[in-house]
Amino acid sequence: MEYFELNDGNKIPAIGFGVFMIPADGPTYEATLAALEAGYRHIDTAAAYMNEQDVGRAVRDSGIPREEIFVTSKLWPQDYAAADAPAGIRRTLDNLGLDYIDLMLLHQPYGPVDEAWAALEEAKEQGLIRSIGVSNMTPKIWNQWIPGFKTVPAVNQVECNPTFQQRALREVLEPLGVVVECWYPLGHGNAELLGNPAITGPAAKYGKDAGQIVLRFEVQEGFVVLPKSTKPARIKSNLDIFGFELTDAEMDAIRALDTGKGTHDPDDPINAERLLSFRVHD
């Protein structure tokens, strides 16, 4: 396993197991346990995924010391107000059944973001959270909020893959030591991407599949990747991206696939309206 150092001094595994859209009450538990048994030491969940309890149970049942597992969850905008955020953080801790969260993010950049951030900062000071970060912040949204924060986020989790490499955002984040985490790191299974010669060529050369080459590219770029699968074979293969390196020429060929376009635009007011109306609890 490779690790990246965060700007708060903590370390984060370069690859994590994402559980977005895996059902609760069994499937998430089984998939998370399979991931931990395969060697993952980083699990990414969220209040809005409705499966924090399964993740926590798998972490506890894995037999792996708690300090060896990096657990991420996310606060939902419903709980961003100063009066609600501490309870939202505590609800996640209770759902997970853990004493602390390694990384907690603001899931969406809408609503009273500043109040929610202050609550994360306080929870970190109390030892309930080790690192704090944000998610889905574009350069515009980042510049709207972050200059007013007391501390700089350690992470910004965004859509990121070879066809959407977040170059403008990285120019903002890199001077601050903020790590980019990739959701949809495989381009949501984009057949055109996975079949591109810039991917299939190195795959044949190194004896890897296309997905492994994409994930390897992203880790070499300094991204934390969060692939998801419920298939044990795929869970294992997604982790098998260490022990080799892409050459500079291979990296450049994949960099050239960037279109600058993703599937989700956080700057679109329609998304803000839609996500602010979604509730994760009564």
Complete domains list, the chain, with CATH: 3-276 (3.20.20.100)
177 pLDDT tier (thresholds 50, 70, 90)? very high
- The residues with which 3 forms a beta bridge, in sequence order, are 13
Tell me the pLDDT tens digit for each residue of 195-238.
999 999 999 999 999 999 999 999 999 999 999 988 999 999 99
Average pLDDT over residues 47-56: 98
Which of the following is catalytic: 29, 40, 49, 110? 49
Q: Which residue has the higher pLDDT, 68 or 230?
A: 68
If you search the block for the tokens 């009564």, which residue do you land on? 282
50 pLDDT tier (thresholds 50, 70, 90)? very high
Torsion angles phi and psi, residue 76, rounded to 5: -95, 150
145 pLDDT tier (thresholds 50, 70, 90)? very high
Is the pLDDT at 27 greater than 90? The verdict is yes
Is the pLDDT at 189 greater than 90? The verdict is no
Average pLDDT over residues 49-55: 98
Segments of the chain assigned E as strands? 3-5, 11-13, 17-18, 42-44, 70-75, 101-106, 129-135, 155-159, 179-183, 224-225
Q: Which three-class secondary structure string do you get for 78-135?
A: HHCCCCCHHHHHHHHHHHHCCCCEEEEEECCCCCCHHHHHHHHHHHHHCCCEEEEEEE
Residue 121 one-letter amino acid: E
49 is catalytic: yes
According to the model, what pLDDT value does residue 190 have? 85
86 pLDDT tier (thresholds 50, 70, 90)? very high
Is the pLDDT at 188 greater than 90? The verdict is no
According to the model, what pLDDT value does residue 39 have? 97
Is the pLDDT at 43 greater than 90? The verdict is yes
Share of the chain above pLDDT 90, in %: 96
Q: How far is CA 209 from the centre of its chain?
A: 22
